[in-house]
């Protein structure tokens, strides 16, 4: 028998972790300050609270503005939540002044990120040598209806082609978006101006200290003269894919057999059937930034793989360019190959609201991309500040299934509210431990 007469029971009780993360990082206060100018006289709901609520709803799996109803149904957990018309009108007001609104939300995100990384201490993003790795990559978002500036894509689809930038948390965690720059579906994959703009937006999101030690990774779409010249002028390090032209293919054929050294696998051990070699001295790189190196990798293709015309002697060949002046070739190649983690970050973002842009207007969908970024950041900062062990690497789907969707009961007594989780829920103790960890932090 099923009845709907339960009292005090709440769903998505684990989402209190997201609310607490927003509080301790100062995100709630930063959004309130940044969006104050869009608050209407005598309005009940502050624009900052509405945007924060939307971010939490998207983090819980929502994919449209109306999914804020999940929070509205639980006022004991999430407080008063604006109605659908109020939310829609706010998005319209923000979209009407999109450049200022995007800048305001970005400023709030940057302030919260600085506080989150400060609280994380040694666990903040950055690899062993103190370099902060930033990955630039584009993705396709399909539009199933006619939307402003949607266009045919290079894969013969229809929609948008946003350019994303993620800060890599390494193997011990996930990443967090620094920029999600919306573009029409027919935008180029190697447009240098777009790469520069996206990287500028990403750098503006970083605290002053880490901003000085950035390594930018990209696929061959970022391997353009203009983009690498721009990075070099700003003294930013890079590791980007390098297109194999006829000259490059000819140079690869001139590499002596003894010059190929074993490549490493993802664990740092020798990878069977893969080798790396330096091409720098065999190419004319006078038109490229000074100090740039080109490194080639060859490997035996996996069964069923189709070789390209540029592959040599039955081996799959790839190249990348780097500004690194030292380091073993295998280490540099492994560092570049780990750029593939960005594909996981994009997939997670698509599981957190980026798979479909729900609004018609282009500026409105730009605001939506900012909400998606906020949702991804709330999840990443919750893992960074409150979770330990393997749960720091859980993807959003698993976090929702095990932590955020946990049910609870609101108990009132002694002028206080207590949220009680089910004793038999396997991850209940993990939720309470994470909450204790967040409560122990000084709010921003």
User: Average pLDDT of 370-398?
Assistant: 96
Q: 122-131, 152-161, 198-207: which range is least confident on average?
A: 122-131
Confidence of residue 304 (pLDDT cuts 50, 70, 90): low
- Does pLDDT of 319 surpass 90? yes
Q: What angle do CA 147, 148, 151 make, to 5 degrees?
A: 80
Using a pLDDT cut of 90, give the percent of the chain over it: 78
Residue 276: φ, ψ to 5°? -130, 155
* Structure tokens given for 105: 């939300």
- Report the C-alpha gap between 379 and 83 in whole angstroms: 24
Chain mean pLDDT for the chain: 92
> What is residue 220's DSSP assignment?
G
Nearest in space to 382 (alpha carbons), one of 54, 27, 102, 122: 27
> What is residue 237's DSSP assignment?
E
What per-residue confidence (pLDDT) applies to 309?
Answer: 63
Q: 221-230, 299-308, 431-440: which range is least confident on average?
A: 299-308
What per-residue confidence (pLDDT) applies to 390?
Answer: 92
User: Average pLDDT of 352-375?
Assistant: 97
Alpha helices by DSSP H, listed for 151-245, are 192-204, 208-211, 225-233
In three-state secondary structure terms, 165 is strand
User: Average pLDDT of 190-204?
Assistant: 96
Spatial neighbors of 158 by CB under 8 A, at least 6 apart, are 142, 143, 150, 151, 152, 185
Residue 281 exposed, middle or buried by CB count within 10 Å (0-12, 13-18, 19+): exposed
- Does pLDDT of 267 surpass 90? no
- Report the C-alpha gap between 147 and 184 in whole angstroms: 10
- Report the C-alpha gap between 104 and 101 in whole angstroms: 5
Confidence of residue 1 (pLDDT cuts 50, 70, 90): confident
Sheet containing 408-413: order of strands: 9-10, 408-413, 416-421
Residues in the chain, how many? 444
Q: Which residues pair with 163 in a beta bridge?
A: 138, 181
According to DSSP, the β-strands at 151-152 and 158-160 are antiparallel
User: Average pLDDT of 256-276?
Assistant: 89
- Does pLDDT of 312 surpass 70? no
Q: Do 298 and 315 form a contact (C-beta atoms < 8 A)?
A: yes
Q: Do 391 and 397 form a contact (C-beta atoms < 8 A)?
A: no
What per-residue confidence (pLDDT) applies to 129?
Answer: 59
- Report the C-alpha gap between 148 and 142 in whole angstroms: 13
User: Average pLDDT of 32-49?
Assistant: 95
In three-state secondary structure terms, 216 is strand
What per-residue confidence (pLDDT) applies to 422?
Answer: 87
* Structure tokens given for 432: 């309470």
What per-residue confidence (pLDDT) applies to 311?
Answer: 63
- Report the C-alpha gap between 179 and 102 in whole angstroms: 11
* Structure tokens given for 94: 């923000």
Please name the CATH architecture into which domain 127-348 falls: Alpha-Beta Complex (3.90)
Q: Do 21 and 62 form a contact (C-beta atoms < 8 A)?
A: no
User: Average pLDDT of 3-23?
Assistant: 89
User: Average pLDDT of 401-424?
Assistant: 88
Confidence of residue 310 (pLDDT cuts 50, 70, 90): low
Confidence of residue 39 (pLDDT cuts 50, 70, 90): very high
- Report the C-alpha gap between 370 and 248 in whole angstroms: 40
What per-residue confidence (pLDDT) applies to 383?
Answer: 96
- Does pLDDT of 171 surpass 70? yes
For tokens 């190929």, the residue is 260
- Report the C-alpha gap between 121 and 130 in whole angstroms: 13
Pairwise pLDDT comparison (396 vs 270), residue with the higher score: 396
What per-residue confidence (pLDDT) applies to 14?
Answer: 94
- Report the C-alpha gap between 136 and 127 in whole angstroms: 17
- Report the C-alpha gap between 430 and 386 in whole angstroms: 9
- Does pLDDT of 127 surpass 60? no
Q: Do 131 and 214 form a contact (C-beta atoms < 8 A)?
A: yes
Pairwise pLDDT comparison (78 vs 311), residue with the higher score: 78
Q: 4-18, 204-218, 280-294: which range is least confident on average?
A: 4-18
Using a pLDDT cut of 70, give the percent of the chain over it: 97
Q: What is the pTM of this model?
A: 0.94
Residue 28: φ, ψ to 5°? -60, -45
- Give residue limits of the domains in the chain: 9-100+359-439, 127-348
């Amino acid at each position: 028998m099923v009845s709907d007469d339960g009292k005090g029971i709440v769903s998505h009780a684990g989402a209190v972790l997201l609310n607490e993360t927003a509080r301790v990082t100062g995100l709630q206060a930063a959004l309130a300050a940044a969006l104050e100018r869009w608050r209407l006289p005598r309005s009940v709901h502050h624009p900052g609270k509405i945007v924060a609520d939307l971010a939490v709803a998207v983090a819980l799996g929502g994919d449209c503005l109306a999914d804020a109803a999940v929070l509205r149904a639980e006022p004991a957990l999430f407080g008063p939540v604006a109605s659908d018309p109020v939310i829609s009108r706010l998005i319209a007001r923000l979209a009407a002044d999109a450049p200022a609104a995007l800048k305001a939300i970005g400023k709030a995100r940057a302030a919260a990120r600085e506080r989150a990384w400060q609280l994380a201490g040694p666990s903040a993003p950055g690899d062993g040598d103190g370099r902060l790795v930033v990955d630039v990559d584009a993705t396709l978002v399909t539009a199933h209806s006619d939307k402003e500036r949607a266009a045919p894509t290079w894969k013969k689809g229809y929609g948008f082609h946003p350019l994303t930038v993620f800060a890599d948390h390494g193997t011990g965690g996930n990443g967090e978006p620094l920029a999600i720059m919306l573009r029409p579906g027919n935008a180029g994959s190697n447009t240098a101006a777009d790469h520069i703009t996206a990287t500028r937006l990403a750098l503006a999101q970083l605290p002053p200290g880490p901003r000085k030690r950035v390594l930018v990774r990209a696929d061959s779409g970022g391997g353009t003269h203009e983009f690498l010249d721009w990075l070099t002028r700003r003294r930013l390090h890079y590791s980007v894919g390098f297109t194999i032209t006829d000259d490059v293919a000819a140079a690869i054929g001139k590499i002596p057999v003894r010059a190929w050294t074993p490549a490493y696998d993802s664990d740092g051990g020798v990878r069977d059937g893969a080798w790396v070699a330096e091409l720098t001295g065999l190419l004319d790189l006078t038109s490229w930034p000074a100090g740039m190196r080109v490194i080639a990798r060859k490997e035996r293709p996996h069964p069923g793989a189709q070789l390209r015309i540029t592959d040599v002697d039955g081996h799959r060949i790839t190249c990348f360019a780097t500004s690194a002046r030292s380091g073993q070739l295998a280490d540099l190649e492994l560092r570049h190959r780990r750029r593939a983690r960005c594909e996981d970050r994009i997939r997670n973002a698509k599981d957190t609201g980026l798979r479909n842009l729900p609004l018609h207007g282009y500026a409105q969908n730009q605001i939506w991309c900012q909400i998606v970024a906020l949702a991804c950041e709330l999840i990443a900062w919750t893992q960074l500040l409150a979770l330990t062990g393997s749960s720091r690497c859980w993807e959003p789907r698993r976090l929702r299934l095990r932590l955020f969707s946990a049910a609870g009961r609101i108990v009132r007594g002694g002028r206080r509210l207590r949220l009680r989780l089910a004793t038999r829920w396997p991850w209940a103790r993990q939720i309470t431990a994470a909450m204790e960890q967040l409560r122990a932090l000084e709010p921003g």
